[in-house]
Structure 1
Amino acid sequence: MSKSAGRGIQSIEVGNRLLVALMRSGSPMMLRDLAQEAGISAAQAHAYLASFRRTELVEQEPASGRYILGPAVNRLASARMATFDPMSNINARAPDFAHSLGVMLALLVWGPVAPTVYRVHDSSQSVNSNLRPGTTFNLLNSAAGRIFGAFDASPAVAERLARELAGATAKGEEAAFDSAIAEIRKSGYAMMIESPVPGLASIAAPVLRDGDCILVAMIIGPRAAMEVQGAGSPTEALLDFTRGA
């Protein structure tokens, strides 16, 4: 903390280290590992986590006893997304956009370890997808993930991509991804057919500020309707939506 930030409360900063450790992990953590990551004793960590559980910032898995971030974190994140401009602008326009186009619209940010949905707007038509806030996507095989791969140069995205490529089974996966990313940077959008659900297609585009990808908008609808190109197409409508954010 810089001196100009003023006097703070040490216990809050220690508790924050526990929450940051859970955020970075992306998976449930044991008490001893959390304590080590935060630089405190297990007894201290347990006391903090007991309070965090009461305030729903943290949950504990019944079977394993491991700790995960709780629902209060989602509520805080949603409140931030609703008020931070230009996210407040795009959030306000999103319901009408999804309804008029007849698609499901998901808004995503880069979460602790992957592209993460923070808001979903249902369409005026039924779209058979169980997409919900908190859903994550990979980089290699999702429209939203490829947008982050194309427009987000942060180390977190590079690390995620390296892990996915290391676990890829298809030959030439990296070359295919690089080729797709080059095309996405030219066109400004990514499309995936039969993804995330058979019979559907998804199209994603970035919302950029000063060259940074601050969020991704992804629409999902019937494949036949989504593959239409040209003026008035879902792709053009999505690009207008994101560029007007």
Structure 2
Amino acid sequence: MSNYTVESTKVETSDGAKLHTRLFKPREETRNNLVVVLVHPYSILGGCQGLLKGIAAGLAEKGYKAVTFDMRGAGKSTGRASLTGFAEIKDVIAVCKWACENLSVDRILLVGSSAGAPIAGSAVDQIEQVVGYVSLGYPFGMFASILFGRHHKAILQFPKPKLFVMGTRDGFTSVKQLTNKLSSAAGRADTHLIEGASHFQMEGPDYDAQMVNLILEFIASLQ
């Protein structure tokens, strides 16, 4: 038997979208007052909360509440996905608000995967409970910036601790592009490179355990 349970609920956004949301909850009550909210990859390319199930389950096994959700237009959520991810910022804010109101927590770690990273990054300064941010494969490259470039400013100016995880063979962002972008970042901006991993490969279950460990190490550094 696993050491966690999964509960499903619907969270409504400020503009009326209803988001299918899952809470991964440790069976034994923990004393930490932090929840990890995970934001999935690009809905238009098939991104959904199921891609983050392994990471959320791994965190719950280690004693942390974790929340995944389908952004508008994905999975069982209502509404329509947007091309540039700006409507989805409301989704992140709504889920974080729900978490604080219902889970007895006052600290949030926001984790965004692929296109979920810029979307989560644009929400950080609108959620006062966010104490840190983790990006898994932020698409900083030139082509991806056509869609997501306007998201960059918010996360680069965010003064709280940030961790950027990326494969060295990421097809959307080179190591040099990542380094150049983070050179102007405010506050603490750590990087962790995964040798030989490509962008979509890193989204797969083979890397879930490594992502969980990196997130746990980052949480420990926030204490």
Give the TM-score, by structure 2 length.
0.26
Bigger RCO of structures 1 and 2 (CA < 8 A, at least 6 apart): 2
Q: Which has the higher strand share?
A: 2
Larger Rg belongs to: 1
